[in-house]
Amino acid sequence: MKKALLINSEISYVISKMGHTDHITICDSGLPVPNNVQRIDLALKEGIPSFLDTLETVLEELKVEEVVIAGEMINISKDLHDKMIDMIKSKAGEKVLLTYVSHEEFKEETRESKAIVRTGEFTPYANVILKSGVVF
């Protein structure tokens, strides 16, 4: 049995295949998933699993160099945004690049993701694209 924190086989497999600048998206329960992108649906019911719990687990496993966020999150879901930024800086490092785009641009960029991980989060704009870095 895998000893590391992340035990979800689908997410672990996607991360193991990711190269430099590849994307994985973690989203709330409402973000549309493009037909050509693998959907990893973790949502069980409202709030389970949460966006932050899922993000924290993925950040334990994935080296991240850039994070893409919909700018609308700052005003509409400020509390979650601030917690997310604190977590990203804590887990990925202070030097991680934070890129803000419109929600429409965000949805377009998800088309490039290796996978989209859907959570049970019901907070608006609780979505993030993680771009893989390198460990050396």
Residue range 42-80, pLDDT digits in tens: 999 999 999 999 999 999 999 999 999 999 999 999 999
Reported pTM: 0.95
Task: Centre a 10 Å sphere on the Cβ of residue 109 and count the other Cβ atoms it contains.
Answer: 17
pLDDT digits (tens, 9 = 90+) for 68-112: 999 999 999 999 999 999 999 999 998 999 999 999 999 999 999
Token pair belonging to 45: 């019911």
Enter the DSSP assignment of 98.
E
Assess whether 23 carries a catalytic annotation. no
Closest CA to 77 of 52, 95, 53: 52
- Between strands 113-118 and 38-41, the pairing is parallel
127 is in an annotated binding site: yes
Token pair belonging to 124: 């608006």
Q: What is the CATH code for 18-132?
A: 3.40.1650.10
Token pair belonging to 66: 């850039």
Cα distance between residue 22 and residue 132, in whole Å:
5
Selected catalytic residue, list 17, 20, 39, 78: 20
